[in-house]
Amino acid sequence: MDSLAFKKKRLIIRQPDDWHLHLRDGDILKSVISPTARVFHRAVVMPNLVPPISTIQQALAYRERILEAVPEGISFSPLMTAYLSDKTSPKILEEGFTKGVFFAAKLYPQNATTNSSLGVSDITKINSVLETMEIIGLPLLIHGEVTNSDVDVFDREAVFIEQHLEPLLNKFPKLKVVLEHITTETAVQYVESKYPALAATITPHHLHLNRNAMFINGFRSDFYCLPIVKREKHRVALRSAATSGKPCFFLGTDSAPHLRADKQSSCGCAGIFNALNAIESYAQVFDEEGALDKLEAFSSEFGPKYYGLPLNEQKITLIKSPHKVPSKFILQSNQIESEYIVPFHSGETLSWRVSETERF
């Protein structure tokens, strides 16, 4: 094999971070932490547990449980977030931030998604919280969807941007805001126009799927997530944003594990567990788009730069070597056969994999 061909099959990048991740708790946490920590050095951990992570003590205890679950010999830093509600006290946020416990605060519009019933019912109710966050420099992470029943589920993000995000950015121009898991061309254009006040994360599943995926030969709850996947033109816009080399777009998997039985029920949960193959899934997209040279910046540079954190020193190696994704992710503690999670790309063949040995 000549050296050029050899080079094309290996890609060495700075170790990435995941700027949006659900780890859950208990048995699920103990199982899902390994695939993330084997690749990512840091992750912004979402607070939508039951009960939500809203106090300093809860965040510290949750961080401990996460660190205990990390396999030995792996260096992984969970970055904790506070769950905002109508009752959040600016003082607690400030104290948690000053003590280095809260990395950011998460705004879930009430009932927008999994475990958001205690979220914010009206953004104007948390004005004093946002004012404090702007002053102290605590970033605001937003699940950007309205929940009004008269707004079509596919329009929720665009309506949120127009009715809530634009006024919020005007009111708090120095607040650091990340619009999480963007799904539309509208969001792409809006974020580009507002950077550096605003940045956005993009998930692997929104880069791979359009809304047809949910309805191939029947209803496919494995592809149900929120914000819901959209029309093809939006997927195309997201792929070009992610691979554009623009620093306002960076990696955030939104990996959201749910047990099979919870996804396939009369009221199935939203969320896609992509942590098993996250960087491989992104690599596939960047490869298909002829933009592998942009993968490192998206995965490992734009996030830390936006948040003012150092870049990771370590490198990981991706190897182009087709491998089949298992159909099930069985929990370590599994006693009952039905307790498994279906990973993203279940049963598919992905073309890139992370080398377990080539780290330096």
| Strand 42-45 with 10-14, pairing | unpaired
Least separation in angstroms between residue 270's CB and ligand DOR is: 4
The site partner of 41 among Zn ion, ligand DOR, none (C-beta below 5 to 8 Å per kind) is none
- Judged by CB under 5 A, the number of residues near Zn ion is 1
Helix (H/G/I), strand (E/B), else coil: 193: helix
- In the bound state with ligand DOR, the residue whose beta carbon lies nearer, of 22 and 156, is 22
Question: Catalytic: which of 17, 18, 222, 254?
Answer: 254
Q: Is 157 in the site for Zn ion (CB under 5 A)?
A: no
- In the bound state with Zn ion, the residue whose beta carbon lies nearer, of 145 and 254, is 254
Least separation in angstroms between residue 279's CB and Zn ion is: 18
Binding flags for Zn ion, 90-129, as an x/- string (CB under 5 A): ----------------------------------------
- Residue matched to tokens 């946490």: 29
Q: Is 254 in the site for Zn ion (CB under 5 A)?
A: yes
Q: How far is CA 265 from CA 24, 218, 262, in A?
A: 20, 14, 6
- Measure the N-to-C terminal CA separation of the chain; round to a whole number of Å: 24
**Residue 254 bears catalytic tag:** yes
Burial-class residue 332 by CB neighbours within 10 Å (0-12, 13-18, 19+): exposed
- In the bound state with ligand DOR, the residue whose beta carbon lies nearer, of 11 and 142, is 142
Q: Contact 133/127 with Cβ under 8 angstroms?
A: no
As a whole number of angstroms, the distance between CA 100 and CA 67 comes to 16
Least separation in angstroms between residue 203's CB and ligand DOR is: 9
Helix (H/G/I), strand (E/B), else coil: 334: coil
Handedness of CA 164, 196, 299, 315 (dihedral sign): negative
The site partner of 230 among Zn ion, ligand DOR, none (C-beta below 5 to 8 Å per kind) is none
Instruction: Give the residues lining the site for ligand DOR (CB under 6 A).
Output: 22, 48, 113-114, 143, 225-226, 256, 269-271
Q: Contact 288/312 with Cβ under 8 angstroms?
A: no
Least separation in angstroms between residue 128's CB and ligand DOR is: 25
Q: Which of 46, 70, 47 is nearest to 253 (CA)?
A: 46
As a whole number of angstroms, the distance between CA 324 and CA 347 comes to 6
CB pairs under 8 A, 24+ apart, for 261-268? 261/338, 261/339, 263/221, 263/222, 263/224, 263/342, 264/221, 268/221, 268/224
The site partner of 226 among Zn ion, ligand DOR, none (C-beta below 5 to 8 Å per kind) is ligand DOR
| 279 residue type, one letter | I
- In the bound state with ligand DOR, the residue whose beta carbon lies nearer, of 211 and 315, is 211
The site partner of 47 among Zn ion, ligand DOR, none (C-beta below 5 to 8 Å per kind) is none
Least separation in angstroms between residue 114's CB and ligand DOR is: 3
As a whole number of angstroms, the distance between CA 314 and CA 305 comes to 16
The site partner of 85 among Zn ion, ligand DOR, none (C-beta below 5 to 8 Å per kind) is none
- DSSP assignment of 128-171: HHHHHHHHHT--EEE------TTS-GGGHHHHHIIIIIHHHHHH
- In the bound state with ligand DOR, the residue whose beta carbon lies nearer, of 75 and 111, is 111
- In the bound state with ligand DOR, the residue whose beta carbon lies nearer, of 143 and 345, is 143
Least separation in angstroms between residue 87's CB and ligand DOR is: 21
The site partner of 271 among ligand DOR, Zn ion, none (C-beta below 5 to 8 Å per kind) is ligand DOR
- In the bound state with Zn ion, the residue whose beta carbon lies nearer, of 22 and 194, is 22
Report, in this order, helix, strand and coil percent for the chain, each rounded to 5: 40, 20, 40
The site partner of 225 among Zn ion, ligand DOR, none (C-beta below 5 to 8 Å per kind) is ligand DOR
Least separation in angstroms between residue 285's CB and ligand DOR is: 19
List residues with catalytic annotation: 254
Q: Which positions lie near Zn ion, rule CB under 5 A?
A: 254
